[in-house]
């Protein structure tokens, strides 16, 4: 099982590390595997060369295979699993080399996707299946097709090409465990720490006459949906294109989602109670491509200048992209109906990426005198959450879900003890696989000396709350 999981991971990771975002454009030569692409796409379109994979059935001994499945995919090497992007057709050939006559009645190519509750495939839920009959006895002699039914056995060499189309979405009837609805096909999902998986299979089923054992040639394949965000504001596009600083919420209100203010409360030096008012903003639209940064802004104010200096330190502000997974339980443990629009905010979450913060270049500090004895201090910090390229995109399929939120967690400042134990702000966001069409690609702005949040994100990934409670079933 461990080798199989690694194979899935290697296949998904082998895609262009900036992706998706795009398969139909040229990639930038020499791009670092850990960074998103910041340059504009080349005008020359280069089609990806497809890779041929082979899967065999052999008799015992050293005899050559008597059945061979060949399939073309986007996977970079034949040794990795076949890989398909939304909209791709599965094309291939199936070949027999039968040294002895065999009473085969039909040959069918099948592609299907399943949600599997646990390590075994018991109670697997098939959400999509497409079939193409390559040959059956009703088609007549495969070497001389006719309208008459074929009554003989197959012997020798046969070859059938096939094409299977995977739909972008499926409409499912309701069951006792989920409500009816139309669902976008999810990406292949397989993680060691989480029991539920989403897997896709390609197989050729070889049916024989009654009382004879059937055969199959089968492989998993990786599937990636092609989802894109809407374009950002025109001013943000201009900043990306001209490599200039992003405009803040005041100058580019169409480019930011500004949330109601919240108050940070606690004590400093275990003695003095302090408060700070915070205004948080996220880049719009609230839909982001994995591998790209999420721009964010934090405005803070307080009458306690010393406390504000502590709270506005870049490492003190705790803003994270968090993920919630809705597992599919075995049938014996299911209870009630899962609504595809259900709120998962009460479910345990894991931190997937942390925001990096730095003092804003557009006036990071300001002190306003209110009276001879009182003044208010203000701080502005710019930030971004660098999304890992390995993030699974948001999805809901029947009773399985992958959802993301951006959350402002209690501050962790030096000499400060927070009075809060729950998130101060939570906003649902969508993670997609492609960059917006006909737009400059997002670029990172975090100064190198402040870009330390990813180590914390990796640590939090393996110390997320609720893992033992939810994901060890």
Read off the pLDDT of residues 50-100 as tens digits, 9 standing for 90 and up: 999 999 999 876 678 999 999 999 999 999 999 999 999 999 999 999 999
pLDDT digits (tens, 9 = 90+) for 279-316: 999 999 999 999 999 999 999 999 999 999 999 999 99
Residue closest to 308 by CA, chosen among 383, 368, 247, 384: 368
Report the pLDDT averaged over residues 433-453: 85
C-alpha distances (whole Å) from 136 to each of 140, 154, 166, 208 are 7, 11, 23, 10
Nearest-angstrom CA–CA distance, 302 and 10: 49
Report the pLDDT averaged over residues 333-337: 55
Token digits for 364?
């990071």
pLDDT digits (tens, 9 = 90+) for 88-118: 999 999 999 999 999 999 999 999 999 998 7
C-alpha distances (whole Å) from 241 to each of 132, 139, 244, 465 are 47, 59, 8, 40
Inform me whether the pLDDT recorded for 40 exceeds 50.
no
User: Would you list the DSSP string of 177-193?
Assistant: SB--EEEEPPPPB--TT
The 8-class DSSP code of residue 173 comes to -
Q: Are strands 287-289 and 400-409 parallel, antiparallel or unpaired?
A: unpaired
User: Do 59 and 67 meet the contact criterion of CB atoms below 8 Å apart?
Assistant: no
C-alpha distances (whole Å) from 236 to each of 60, 290, 386 are 63, 18, 17
Q: Are strands 104-116 and 400-409 parallel, antiparallel or unpaired?
A: unpaired
Helix or strand (DSSP H, E) at 11: helix 2-13
Q: Are strands 318-326 and 400-409 parallel, antiparallel or unpaired?
A: antiparallel
**Per-residue confidence (pLDDT) for residue 335, from 0 to 100:** 55
User: Do 450 and 359 meet the contact criterion of CB atoms below 8 Å apart?
Assistant: no
Report the pLDDT averaged over residues 356-360: 93
Report the pLDDT averaged over residues 24-46: 37
Scan for tokens 């008459």, then name that residue.
Answer: 148
Largest interatomic CA distance in the chain: 104
Inform me whether the pLDDT recorded for 127 exceeds 80.
yes
Token digits for 462?
């393996």
Nearest-angstrom CA–CA distance, 412 and 311: 8
User: Do 127 and 115 meet the contact criterion of CB atoms below 8 Å apart?
Assistant: yes
Inform me whether the pLDDT recorded for 464 exceeds 90.
no
The 8-class DSSP code of residue 435 comes to P
Token digits for 291?
């591998």
Residue closest to 378 by CA, chosen among 278, 248, 264, 295: 278
**Per-residue confidence (pLDDT) for residue 205, from 0 to 100:** 97
Phi, psi for 235 (deg, rounded to 5) = -70, -35
User: Do 114 and 189 meet the contact criterion of CB atoms below 8 Å apart?
Assistant: no
SS3 112: strand
pTM over 0.85: no
Token digits for 470?
């939810």
Lowest mean pLDDT among 192-196, 256-260, 303-307, 333-337: 333-337
Nearest-angstrom CA–CA distance, 64 and 322: 51
User: Would you list the DSSP string of 347-372?
Assistant: S--EEEEEEEEEE-TTT-EEEEEEET
Residues of the chain with pLDDT > 90: what percent?
Answer: 60
> In what side-by-side order are the strands of the sheet with 67-73?
51-57, 67-73, 89-102, 154-165
Residue closest to 163 by CA, chosen among 251, 93, 246, 66: 93
Q: How many CB atoms lie within 10 A of CB 81?
A: 21
């Amino acid at each position: 099982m461990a080798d199989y999981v690694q194979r899935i991971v290697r296949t998904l990771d082998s895609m262009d590390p900036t992706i998706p975002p795009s398969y139909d454009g040229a990639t930038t030569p020499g791009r670092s595997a850990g960074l998103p692409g910041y340059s504009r796409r080349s005008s020359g379109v280069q089609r990806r060369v497809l890779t041929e994979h082979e899967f065999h059935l052999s008799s015992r001994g050293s005899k050559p295979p008597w059945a061979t499945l060949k399939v073309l995919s986007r996977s970079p090497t034949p040794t990795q699993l076949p890989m398909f992007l939304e909209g791709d057709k599965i094309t291939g050939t199936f070949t027999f080399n039968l040294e002895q006559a065999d009473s085969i009645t039909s040959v069918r190519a099948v592609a299907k996707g399943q949600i599997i509750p646990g390590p075994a495939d018991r109670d697997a839920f098939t959400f999509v299946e497409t079939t193409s009959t390559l040959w059956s006895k009703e088609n007549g002699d495969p070497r001389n097709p006719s309208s008459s039914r074929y009554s003989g056995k197959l012997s020798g060499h046969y070859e059938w090409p096939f094409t299977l189309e995977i739909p972008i979405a499926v409409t499912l009837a309701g069951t006792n465990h989920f409500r009816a609805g139309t669902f976008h096909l999810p990406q292949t999902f397989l993680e060691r720490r989480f029991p539920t998986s989403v897997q896709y299979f390609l197989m050729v089923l070889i049916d024989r006459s009654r009382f004879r054992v059937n055969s199959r040639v089968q492989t998993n394949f990786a599937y990636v949906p092609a989802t894109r965000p809407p374009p950002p504001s025109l001013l943000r596009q201009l900043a990306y294109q001209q490599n200039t600083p992003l405009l803040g919420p005041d100058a580019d209100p169409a480019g930011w989602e500004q949330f109601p203010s919240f108050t940070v409360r606690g004590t400093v030096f275990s003695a003095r109670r302090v408060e700070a008012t915070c205004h948080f903003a996220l880049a719009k639209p609230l839909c982001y491509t994995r591998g790209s940064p999420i721009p964010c802004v934090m405005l803070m104010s307080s009458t306690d200048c010393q406390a504000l200096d502590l709270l506005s330190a870049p490492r003190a502000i705790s803003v994270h992209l968090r993920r919630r997974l809705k597992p599919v339980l075995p049938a014996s443990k299911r209870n009630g109906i899962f609504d595809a629009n259900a709120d998962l905010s009460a479910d345990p979450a894991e931190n997937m990426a942390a925001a990096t913060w730095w003092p804003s270049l557009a006036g990071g500090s300001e002190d306003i005198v209110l009276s001879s004895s009182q003044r208010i201090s203000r701080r502005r910090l710019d930030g971004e959450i660098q999304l890992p390229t390995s993030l699974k995109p948001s999805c809901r399929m029947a009773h399985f879900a992958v959802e993301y939120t951006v959350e402002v967690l209690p501050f962790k400042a030096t000499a400060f003890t927070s009075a809060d134990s729950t998130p101060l702000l939570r906003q649902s966001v969508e993670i997609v696989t492609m960059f917006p069409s006909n737009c400059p690609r997002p670029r990172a702005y975090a100064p190198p000396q402040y870009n330390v949040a990813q180590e914390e994100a990796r640590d939090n990934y393996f110390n997320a709350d609720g893992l033992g409670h939810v994901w060890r079933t």
